[in-house]
Amino acid sequence: MDFSFAWLADPQAWIALGTLTVLEIVLGIDNIIFISILAGKLPAEQQAKARQIGLVLALVTRILLLFSLSILAQLTDPLFTIMEHGVSGRDLILGLGGLFLLGKATVEIHEKIEGGGHKPGEGGKAGVSFNSVLVQIMLLDIVFSIDSVITAVGMVKQLEIMVIAVVIAVIVMLVFVNAISEFVDRHPTVKVLALSFLLMIGLTLIGESLHFHIPKGYIYFAMAFSVMVEMINLRVKANAKKSA
């Protein structure tokens, strides 16, 4: 791909940039949720820093993948075959990432419902270190970045448009990550809903690793509908408290 700015005079390129930026922000929401949940394990004074570093790592990962498209393309080549099913590097990354999400979300939901977790602002359990949280964030950034980069490559051909869209999307996420994290922490039911989304995303990643294509539109519609119902529930509870 040539790196030039000849596209600046092309209105279609600007439309592609805007569309791709919105898609990158949407794809980054699950990343924000995961980073927020992991950062919530840390002491309150370290949480904002962990969230910001996590998103910066996500930006660096995405840009590195964009500049390594030849390597990314090779990830789709089968490494070995299981029961006539070719398994590629991308399949392994998505499958392992999906399993990690399923396991992590299940443990978090268990702690939230059965107890043993921590209250918002109190930090995490003993033994949870800042570096260990960053390592977990970095590993999942790789999984989410592959999905993000594949979407970018499928939409536009100009490398510079992809890079600009990714940078803008991450800047937007950096602006709103603290507000989203605080909102999730204030409302336990929202956190359980967010963890349920991670379960669904994890299952989707495993399905894609097995070459079962699940249209993203169905997933986003289910998420949007669930969020709408939860917002109504929160409003009803707030009105009930005012009446009381």
pLDDT of residue 4 exceeding 80: no
Q: Which phi-psi region, left, alpha or beta, contains residue 223 (left: φ > 0; alpha: ψ -120 to 50)?
A: alpha
Q: Is residue 180 part of a domain?
A: yes
| Residue-level length of the chain | 244
The torsion angle over the Cα atoms of residues 6, 8, 13 and 19, rounded to 10 degrees, is: 140
Q: How far apart are CA 190 and CA 183, in angstroms?
A: 8
Mean pLDDT, residues 137-152: 74
Q: 102 lies in which domain range?
A: 9-77+85-243
Q: Is residue 3 part of a domain?
A: no
- Tens digits of residue pLDDT in 76-107: 777 788 777 788 877 887 788 788 778 877 88
User: What pLDDT is stored for residue 115 in this prediction?
Assistant: 65
Q: Is residue 4 part of a domain?
A: no
Nearest to 21 by CA among 152, 144, 176, 179: 152
Mean pLDDT, residues 14-33: 77
Q: Is residue 1 part of a domain?
A: no
- Tens digits of residue pLDDT in 153-184: 666 667 777 788 888 888 888 888 888 888 87
pLDDT of residue 121 exceeding 50: no
Q: Is residue 111 part of a domain?
A: yes
pLDDT of residue 3 exceeding 70: no
Q: Count how many Cα atoms sit within 13 Å of the Cα of residue 39 in the half-sphere of its side chain.
A: 26
Q: Is residue 230 part of a domain?
A: yes
Q: Is residue 2 part of a domain?
A: no
- Provide the whole-model pTM: 0.65
How many separate domains does the chain show? 1
User: What pLDDT is stored for residue 232 in this prediction?
Assistant: 92
Q: Is residue 189 part of a domain?
A: yes
